[in-house]
Amino acid sequence: MSTAVSIIIPTYNERDNIIALVRRIDQALSNYEYEIIFIDDSSNDGTAEVAAALSPKYPVKVIIRQNKRGLASAVVDGLGYVKSEVIGVMDADLQHPPEVIPQLLKEIGSGADVAIASRYVEGGGCQGWGLMRRIISKGAIFLAHLLLPSTRKVKDPVSGFFMINRRVVGNTELKPTGYKILLEILIEGEFQSVAEVGYTFRTRSGGESKLNARQQIDYLKHIYSLMRRKGELVRFAKFCLVGLSGILVNMGLLWLLTEFVGLFYLLSAAISIESSIISNFILNDFFTFPDRRLPGAKSFFGRLLKYNLVCVAGLGVNMGVLWLLTDFLGIFYLVSELGGIVAATLWNYTLSILWAWK
Ligand SMILES: Nc1nc2c(ncn2[C@@H]2O[C@H](COP(=O)(O)OP(=O)(O)O)[C@@H](O)[C@H]2O)c(=O)[nH]1
Ligand SMILES: [Mg+2]
């Protein structure tokens, strides 16, 4: 016997998968001491009964919660019942092949605090997924990487199949919404190293998926809640404030240079646009992205150059949207410009956070 591991499995109407699942876990973990904790949200197909009937032969515990309260919260509740220092989480429907568990254990054994079975590293994939499902999955991960920068080092931060050391979640209060418990742990947990192990997400073995549009909305709510908790919403608000200050710099200089210095207004405009870009940059560097400043003058000018390019392209985005809305949708040009400003702000922010202040 080596490492002891507790495996938490949330279930809702998975009767047809439970026996095969437990057998395969037992086989995969024949060299380990383990326990399985099912957190069942009062399935009405007898899932809990099937699981409980296995307990004389296998180390299985079944916790029944009243009402269907969601996958991620089921895992959080499950943490209260584990007895091992190493904790695994997986689905019940055999989309997560139990044979991968020993590989995750190996990563934990070699020092990883979090080991993730990942669809998006070498050796990973998704069986039988259509284009739409792939786009949604990748889009969800892109959004997490964009809006929660600390998840960027993980290729599959929304995997439902992973293992952690108990101390990762020992001192944290987890408040997930919806499905993605790993995202919550990656943001709120305490850890040093994360390892990802490639695996193929299989097609469902029996029963049916509970994933629907509701979960997609919950995902957005979850990201919003994490952004709020981690100060990323405040960061975006600061970026918008700096943008407003840039308009003042731009208009003020345009007026001063044209009226008092006597420059041709287009020359004044060129100087005042560039000046506002530079003042925006300095304010953002100190005020919006203080945590992203790398030491050294070179990186300062590198960031300035990148931000400048972002803003010039942003001007193109602004004018493109203005043109589209006005010429193709027949919207009054001053109203279209509001759309142009929103689009350019989103563009500037996205590129700033992904590139200029990476
Ligand atoms: N306890 C609990 N488990 C759930 C709930 N919703 C889904 N599950 C379980 O979570 C796992 C993944 O759900 P599934 O519907 O297969 O999601 P998909 O793989 O993304 O389509 C399965 O083991 C489900 O039985 C829920 O509300 N409560
Ligand atoms: Mg599934």
pLDDT digits (tens, 9 = 90+) for 52-106: 999 999 999 999 999 778 899 999 999 999 999 999 999 999 999 999 999 999 9
pLDDT confidence tier of residue 297, bands split at 50, 70 and 90? low
> What is the average pLDDT value for the chain, to the nearest integer?
94
Quick check: CB of 92 below 6 Å from ligand 1? yes
For 108-121, the pLDDT digits (tens) are 999 999 999 999 99
pLDDT at 234: 96
Long-range contacts of 147-150 (CB under 8 A, 24+ apart): 147/223, 147/227, 147/232, 148/183, 148/187, 148/223, 148/226, 148/227, 148/230, 148/232, 149/232, 149/353, 150/186, 150/187, 150/230
Q: Please identify every residue whose CB atom is under 5 Å from ligand 2, which is an ion.
A: 91, 93, 95
Ligand 1 atom closest to 40 (CA): 1
pLDDT at 1: 44
CATH class of 4-229: alpha beta
The ligand minimizing its distance to the Cα of 12 is 1
pLDDT at 214: 87
The ligand minimizing its distance to the Cα of 14 is 1
pLDDT at 343: 97
Quick check: CB of 73 below 6 Å from ligand 1? no
Q: How far is the CA of 86 from the centre of ligand 2 (A)?
A: 23
For 121-142, the pLDDT digits (tens) are 999 999 988 999 999 999 999 9
pTM: 0.89
Ligand 1 atom closest to 93 (CA): 23
Assess whether pLDDT exceeds 90 at residue 208: no
